[in-house]
Amino acid sequence: MKVFKVICVDTATHCQILAEDCSYNSACFWLESKGLINPNNVKIKWDFKTNRYLISDENTLFIYDENRGLLLSD
């Protein structure tokens, strides 16, 4: 898993790339360990058309792209 230290924008979704070459489990663990999501209030939806997971908290939305292994921030 490669975590980006600078702001990089994905050309397909126009969202900020947080990490690449990661699995869904490692992306969720990283978000939880950094305190970016509250595990008690998190909602996860799967979009079968784009093969992406939408991970939302009270104020934040993160997208995990299964095909490319990217964790994105909206």
The three-state (H, E, C) secondary structure of the chain, written as one string = CEECCCCCECCCCCCEEEEECCCHHHHHHHHHHCCCCCCCCCEEEEECCCCEEEEECCCCEEEEECCCCEEEEC
Write down the mean pLDDT value for the chain.
93
Integer Cα distance of 57 and 42 in angstroms: 5
User: 59 is in which domain, residue-wise?
Assistant: 2-73
pLDDT below 70 — which residues of the chain? none
Q: How far apart are CA 47 and CA 36, in angstroms?
A: 22
Q: What is the pLDDT of residue 64?
A: 96
The domain tally of the chain equals: 1
